[in-house]
């Protein structure tokens, strides 16, 4: 089977976050199973006209990746577009058995999906929770453009029941299937309880309002009163709150304990996790955070909020500490776990157990194979 995968931004860039990681994990596992996978994406490496992928084509672990010259009206993922990509699809899409489009209210995947629809190429949409929000312009886009794309999709992949019901509510006739994100268990590198002694708390995500980096800083302000030896690392690209966050850190006189690392390469992510004492993600309205899966696969004790849409699955395994969306609750949890080795080790074991039993990429791809073949 020849599979065409579409994602707005792809490796080596990490600015797009979870969808890039999901697409990469899927493509790697599919080629390992003998499928021919081509990924088409933009050439955007960062929202800086000087930072583009300098190659048009590369082969990454047997995945063929095509980077199309792309532009954007404003530095937003939703506004990235490529006429070259559409032209290529019109000439080549029919050579593939199925297109797997990582989809949202974004020009790049919309144009890819519409082209496949017009050509009669079967396509699967994976929405990553990106259609969940509805207001003004989003509702207008759904009515005029998005619903038709969903209606004509072979299958729409939802992360969990919340997203499934939202898509069915939008297009009742849509064929929606649940497909969680998946990841490999890493046995070469993993967290150990000695890391608690480092007292290093990690935030690793895009600095976007939904990820709540400001809550992380408020949490640090509180924990610093009780233990001034704790260090905090904020890792990830700017999503609109970098300057606000830096100003807040300076206002609280926490520059000596909070470090802004910025965006990092994907291969450095594992090192950040395994060298941390704890991972804290204060996100709200979070569909299925890949960063949480990455942390759990490495056994890193993790704290999240009740804004995680997959909190039921996480709670069933006691895989992470889930608290209310308050900096005070985050701070209490951080201090509790740092000073309780047994609790930290239980979270570590439970997290890896969840990944092994439910979210192992091999099991996820088995489900995806079945969906492709229907």
**DSSP symbol at 122:** -
Helix axes 290-297, 266-274, angle to 10 degrees: 60
In this prediction the pTM is 0.82
Average pLDDT over residues 302-320: 91
For the domain covering 2-182+360-373, report its CATH number: 3.40.50.2000
Q: Which two tokens mark 354?
A: 């969840």
Residue 326 burial class via C-beta count within 10 angstroms: exposed 0-12, middle 13-18, buried 19 and up: middle
29: how many CB neighbours lie within 10 A of its CB?
21
User: What's the CATH superfamily of 193-357?
Assistant: Glycogen Phosphorylase B; (3.40.50.2000)
Q: Which helix (H) or strand (E) holds 166?
A: helix 161-170
So what's the pLDDT on residue 293?
92
Confidence at 203, pLDDT banded by 50, 70, 90: very high
Confidence at 94, pLDDT banded by 50, 70, 90: very high
CA–CA separation, 22 and 234 (whole Å):
22
Domain ranges of the chain: 2-182+360-373, 193-357
At residue 281, does pLDDT exceed 60? yes
Average pLDDT over residues 312-328: 93
Confidence at 14, pLDDT banded by 50, 70, 90: confident
CA–CA separation, 83 and 130 (whole Å):
23
Lowest mean pLDDT among 2-6, 116-120, 260-264, 287-291: 287-291
């Amino acid at each position: 089977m020849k599979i065409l995968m579409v994602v707005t931004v792809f490796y080596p860039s990490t600015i797009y976050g979870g969808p890039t990681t999901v697409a990469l994990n899927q493509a790697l596992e599919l080629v390992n199973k003998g499928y021919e996978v081509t990924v088409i994406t933009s050439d955007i490496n960062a929202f800086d006209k000087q930072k583009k992928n300098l190659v048009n084509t590369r082969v990454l672990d047997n995945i063929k990746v095509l980077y199309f010259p792309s532009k954007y009206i404003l530095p937003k993922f939703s506004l990235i577009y490529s006429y070259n990509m559409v032209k290529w699809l019109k000439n080549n899409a029919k050579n593939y058995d199925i297109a797997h489009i990582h989809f949202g209210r974004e020009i790049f995947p919309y144009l890819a999906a519409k082209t496949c629809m017009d050509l009669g190429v079967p396509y699967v949409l994976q929405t990553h929770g990106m259609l969940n929000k509805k207001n003004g312009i989003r509702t207008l886009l759904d009515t005029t453009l998005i619903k038709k794309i969903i209606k004509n999709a072979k299958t729409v992949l939802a992360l969990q029941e919340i997203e499934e019901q939202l898509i069915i509510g939008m297009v009742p006739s849509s064929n929606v299937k649940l497909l969680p994100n998946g990841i490999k268990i890493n046995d070469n590198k993993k967290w150990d309880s000695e890391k608690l002694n480092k007292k290093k708390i990690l935030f690793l995500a895009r600095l976007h309002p939904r990820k709540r980096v400001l809550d992380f800083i408020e949490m640090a302000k509180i924990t610093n009163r009780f233990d001034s030896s704790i260090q905090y690392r904020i890792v990830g690209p700017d999503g609109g709150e970098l300057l606000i966050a830096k100003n807040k850190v300076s206002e609280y006189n926490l520059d000596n304990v909070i470090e802004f690392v910025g965006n990092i390469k994907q291969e450095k992510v594992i090192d950040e996790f395994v060298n941390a004492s704890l991972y804290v993600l204060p996100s709200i309205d979070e569909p299925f955070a890949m960063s949480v899966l990455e942390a759990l696969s490495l056994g890193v004790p993790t704290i999240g909020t009740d804004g995680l849409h997959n909190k039921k699955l996480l709670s069933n395994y006691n895989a992470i500490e889930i608290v209310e969306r308050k900096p005070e609750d985050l701070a209490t949890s951080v201090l509790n776990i740092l000073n309780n080795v047994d609790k930290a080790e239980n979270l570590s074991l439970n997290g890896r157990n969840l990944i092994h039993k439910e979210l192992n990429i091999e099991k996820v791809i088995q489900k995806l194979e079945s969906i492709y073949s229907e």
